[in-house]
Amino acid sequence: MTEPQTQNGALVAIDGLKKYFPIRKGVLAREVARVHAVDDVTLSVAEGETLGLVGESGCGKSTLGRCIVRLLEPTAGDVVFDGKSIGHLKARTLRPLRREMQMIFQDPYASLNPRKRVGTIISDPMRIHGIGDRKERKRKVEELLETVGLSPEHYNRFPHEFSGGQRQRIGVARALALRPKLIVADEPVSALDVSIQAQMVNLLEQLQDEFRLTYVFIAHDLGVVRHVSDRIAVMYLGKLVELSPAEELYSRPIMPYTEALLSAVPVPDPDLADQRERIVLEGDVPSPINPPSGCRFHPRCRYATEVCSQIEPPLVDYGNGHLAACHHPLNVDRETLARVQASPAHTPEAADETALPRDPGKEVARPVPRPE
Amino acid sequence: MAEKLLEVKGLKVRFATEDGVVRAVDGVDFDLERGKVLGIVGESGSGKSVTAMTLLGLTRDKNTRFEGEVRYRDQELLSLPESRLRDVRGNEIAMIFQDPMTSLNPVYTVGDQIVEAITTHEQASKSEAKRRAVELLRQVGIPNAQTRVDDYPHQFSGGMRQRAMIAMALSCNPDILIADEPTTALDVTIQAQILELLDRLRADFDSAVILITHDLGVVAEVADEILVMYAGRIVERGGKRQVFYDPQHPYTWGLLGSIPRLDRPKPEKLHSIEGTPPSLINLPQGCKFRPRCPHAFEKCMEEPELKNRVESPGHFDRCWLSVEDKRRLRESTIAGEARVA
């Protein structure tokens, strides 16, 4: 298991990152509102680690991913990559760093240029960065094709000659071409059949060992993420709401949103599916233009009380690198609670205790900001 | 015994293309009873969508050849003239498509599109149809249906668009609802909502549902009977519990094994079905799954027929292995541990 939240040894450190998109109207293009896509997220990714980033559409996970590789410039906050602050670098100074971080995109049909041959698609990053001569690049591409499970004869083919899963492999080969340290994979398997998803997940894991890669793996489905991640971050409406070592998130989720996400994953077992109580989240993610007050999840949360609509819960460290932002944490026992409460900082007057989940063993924690 | 709505016998669909004849569907049989949910499962290119579209005559073309029989009540749909088929389509058999982003017309309001579906098939005034459209939107769980009915599709989220599609499909109280990957383009949370909705509507409207998906997890919740398709044929067919608890075909095992399971400890490695589905122009000899099957042996060069090999009736498969061998061999695959050599 990876050390939680240490700044040293971290390949990527995201610090108070915010990304707002302005909405402009009128002749003067005055800014009338802002989309709060990512709102004050702090986390770090250690070298060689896989961080899963999970949430529904519109929660800001892709925006965060794009800010990490600086396809987008953050509105506020910073991204430190390999010890260098890159949050606000100019394009020119950023360029040499682009080699170190690559991206795999969701849609294998849209992310490959249909008019270029596979060989060109994969070798272009090397050409742009001036690596090797033409012959050498060709040799490397053929090597890469083999690494990702395609055949070197595919060099001269066009993307339309491949199936979805094969195209995604081409996307992976392109990302690997520059031997990056970090790969941000934005829903790399969501567009694929279940059987092909498993192939991709296994391939990504194998490549991680082979090339000592660090992954940020973005997905909306907690099922796939479990297999690749060391740690998982759950986002909701631009906020980081839970961060946990992977297995722990599945055995004891703290945030009710995580609980609901877990219960939404279909179980391929008719009896179990009948037995288990499914928490169906009503409605959609609210608009990030005017996010709800207090805890942003409260309008859809079944444990929500008055305090949730007024006070935004801070991220609390419950030990073992498990952080969550909730007024009514689940699966927190008395001991952990006491420890959390013993820390010096205090929150505003907390929850209405009668409205809490009353399952035995699930005690009420009074959330306290993470000790600095 | 419930009323039998649909009977498909020996259905074959072939497309003539420049590269050769594509055998998209190659001998499919099934029945559908009122109030039941039939799940059709398979990878892309297994013929599941073509089967569904053929039922509605959506694959008719000068380059398409059909064989077999599709009987809906007392009509033969394959040979029904287009003008008569139009009365069935949308009215008695309705379809929900995979991508809610592209299957609604962006220049008409959602309400107009539902009203059109109603007035096409029934003698209803516009205001009456509109009233029903609002009621339908409310039934599928659109908040403020009264005002949202005048919204355009782009004002709806993905989940809401899929609900609107379902409302439109239900507008004429169809006997059969075909849902072609209705949740694939959606978030898991919205998928859960839509599945719940389909299940409820089946009860409320007393329709039969054909649910097409590539994910066995999805059908575990709602289906009564399951067809597993591969390369245009049914490789396994049975009740939900038979297919999940006593799967007979190695392809079904592979599908089961490749689902990441949250109800079990995490395996070292996910099982994956190696390779890709065969080209439908040049199908392999014998069992079509043979080239990807880890358990293939000499006999597999000959194609097995779909028949009942286990003790329980109504459970069919297309595999030469003996039932004992299957029960012994499948465990490791389904658990996701098997490393296929």
Instruction: Return all residues near A133 (Cβ < 8 A) that are at least 6 apart.
Output: none
Which amino acid is residue B16, in one-letter code? A
Using CB atoms, pick whichever of A223, A263, A278 lies closest to residue B260: A223
Is a pLDDT exceeding 90 seen at residue A354? Answer: no
Average pLDDT, chain B: 89
Q: Could you tell me the pLDDT band of residue B221, with boundaries at 50, 70 and 90?
A: confident
Range among A201-205, A272-276, A331-335 with highest mean pLDDT value: A201-205
Strand blocks (E) in B114-260: 176-180, 208-213, 225-230, 233-239
Measured CA to CA, the distance from residue B207 to residue B128 in angstroms comes to 23
Measured CA to CA, the distance from residue A312 to residue A241 in angstroms comes to 11
For residue A309, give Cα distances in angstroms to A99, A296, B153: 44, 8, 31
Q: Please indicate whether, in this complex, the C-beta atoms of A247 and B217 are within 8 angstroms of each other.
A: no
Measured CA to CA, the distance from residue A302 to residue A285 in angstroms comes to 15
Q: What are phi and psi of A184, to 5 degrees?
A: -95, 115
Q: Which element (helix H / strand E) includes A96?
A: helix A91-98
Is a pLDDT exceeding 90 seen at residue A175? Answer: yes
Strand blocks (E) in B277-341: 307-308, 316-317
Give the closest residue to B131 by CA, choosing from A330, B139, B91, A231: B139
Measured CA to CA, the distance from residue B188 to residue B192 in angstroms comes to 6
In this structure, are residues A184 and A69 in contact, taking their beta carbons and an 8 Å threshold?
yes
Nearest CA in chain A to B256: A268
Length of chain B: 341
Is a pLDDT exceeding 60 seen at residue B290? Answer: yes
- Residue numbers of B between 29 and 58 with CB closer than 8 Å to A: 43-45
Q: Is A262 exposed, middle or buried (0-12, 13-18, 19+ CB in 10 A)?
A: middle
When pLDDT is averaged across residues A18-44 and rounded to a whole number, the result is 90
Q: Please indicate whether, in this complex, the C-beta atoms of B255 and A194 are within 8 angstroms of each other.
A: yes
Looking only at the bridges linking them, the beta strands covering A76-81 and A84-85 are antiparallel
Lowest mean pLDDT among A177-181, A337-341, B172-176: A337-341
Average pLDDT, chain A: 85
At A346 the pLDDT is 40
Measured CA to CA, the distance from residue B292 to residue B295 in angstroms comes to 9
Residues in chain B with CB shorter than 8 Å from the CB of A194 are: 214-217, 255, 258-259
Convert the pLDDT of each residue in A228-263 to its tens digit. Answer: 999 999 999 999 999 999 999 998 899 999 999 998
At A8 the pLDDT is 57
When pLDDT is averaged across residues A127-156 and rounded to a whole number, the result is 93
When pLDDT is averaged across residues B131-157 and rounded to a whole number, the result is 90
Q: Please indicate whether, in this complex, the C-beta atoms of B258 and A194 are within 8 angstroms of each other.
A: yes
Using CB atoms, pick whichever of A57, A226, A268 lies closest to residue B187: A57
At A266 the pLDDT is 87
Measured CA to CA, the distance from residue A155 to residue B260 in angstroms comes to 33
At B45 the pLDDT is 85
Which amino acid is residue A113, in one-letter code? N
| pTM for the whole structure | 0.85
Q: Shortest Cα distance from B285 to chain A (angstroms)?
A: 22
Measured CA to CA, the distance from residue B12 to residue B50 in angstroms comes to 10
In this structure, are residues B103 and B165 in contact, taking their beta carbons and an 8 Å threshold?
yes
In this structure, what token pair is assigned to residue A193?
């059949």
Give the closest residue to B226 by CA, choosing from B203, B204, B251: B251
Q: Shortest Cα distance from A248 to chain B (angstroms)?
A: 12
Cα angle for residues B12, B15, B18 (degrees, 5° grid): 155
Q: Please indicate whether, in this complex, the C-beta atoms of B217 and A268 are within 8 angstroms of each other.
A: yes
Measured CA to CA, the distance from residue A260 to residue A236 in angstroms comes to 12
B255 to chain A, any CB pair closer than 8 A? The answer is yes
Give the closest residue to B212 by CA, choosing from B73, B43, B94: B43
Lowest mean pLDDT among A6-15, A95-104, B89-98, B323-332: A6-15
Lowest mean pLDDT among A191-205, A344-358, B64-78, B191-205: A344-358
Cα angle for residues B119, B120, B126 (degrees, 5° grid): 15
Q: Please indicate whether, in this complex, the C-beta atoms of A283 and B143 are within 8 angstroms of each other.
A: yes
Which amino acid is residue B321, in one-letter code? L
Convert the pLDDT of each residue in A306-328 to its tens digit. Answer: 888 888 888 888 888 899 998 88
Interface mutation vs chain A, best among B48, B189, B289, most A CBs within 10 Å: B189
In this structure, what token pair is assigned to residue A326?
């909730």
In this structure, what token pair is assigned to residue A304?
């929500």
DSSP string, A225-243: HHHH-SEEEEEETTEEEEE
Nearest CA in chain A to B252: A195
When pLDDT is averaged across residues B37-49 and rounded to a whole number, the result is 91
At A341 the pLDDT is 66
Q: Could you tell me the pLDDT band of residue A4, with boundaries at 50, 70 and 90?
A: very low
Is a pLDDT exceeding 80 seen at residue A163? Answer: yes
At B1 the pLDDT is 56
Q: Which element (helix H / strand E) includes A18?
A: strand A10-25
User: Is A349 or B317 the better-scoring residue by pLDDT?
Assistant: B317
Phi-psi region of B143 (alpha: psi -120 to 50; beta: other; left: phi over 0): beta
At A56 the pLDDT is 87
Is a pLDDT exceeding 70 seen at residue A347? Answer: no
When pLDDT is averaged across residues B269-292 and rounded to a whole number, the result is 88
In this structure, what token pair is assigned to residue B227?
């067809």
Interface mutation vs chain A, best among B40, B161, B162, B188, most A CBs within 10 Å: B188
Q: Could you tell me the pLDDT band of residue B157, with boundaries at 50, 70 and 90?
A: confident
Interface mutation vs chain B, best among A169, A194, A220, most B CBs within 10 Å: A194
Which amino acid is residue B274, in one-letter code? E
Measured CA to CA, the distance from residue A72 to residue A327 in angstroms comes to 33
β-partners of residue B237 are B227, B316
Give the closest residue to B235 by CA, choosing from B306, B154, B313: B306
3-state helix, strand, coil in chain A (%, to 5): 35, 20, 45
Measured CA to CA, the distance from residue A323 to residue A108 in angstroms comes to 34
When pLDDT is averaged across residues B43-58 and rounded to a whole number, the result is 90
pLDDT > 70 fraction of chain B, expressed in percent and rounded: 98
Q: Could you tell me the pLDDT band of residue A115, with boundaries at 50, 70 and 90?
A: very high
Is a pLDDT exceeding 60 seen at residue B51? Answer: yes
Q: What is the ipTM of this complex?
A: 0.82
Which amino acid is residue A229, in one-letter code? S
Q: Could you tell me the pLDDT band of residue A363, with boundaries at 50, 70 and 90?
A: very low
In this structure, what token pair is assigned to residue A220?
């909306």
At B259 the pLDDT is 87
When pLDDT is averaged across residues B228-238 and rounded to a whole number, the result is 95
Is a pLDDT exceeding 80 seen at residue B177? Answer: yes
B263 to chain A, any CB pair closer than 8 A? The answer is yes
Nearest CA in chain B to A265: B188
Give the closest residue to A284 by CA, choosing from A32, A87, A93, A57: A57
Measured CA to CA, the distance from residue B185 to residue B100 in angstroms comes to 8
- Residue numbers of B between 129 and 188 with CB closer than 8 Å to A: 143, 157-160, 187-188
Looking only at the bridges linking them, the beta strands covering A50-54 and A30-46 are unpaired
Convert the pLDDT of each residue in B1-32 to its tens digit. Answer: 578 899 999 999 999 999 899 999 999 999 99
Give the closest residue to A246 by CA, choosing from A103, A57, A62, A54: A54
Measured CA to CA, the distance from residue B181 to residue B43 in angstroms comes to 11
Q: What are phi and psi of B29, to 5 degrees?
A: -125, 135
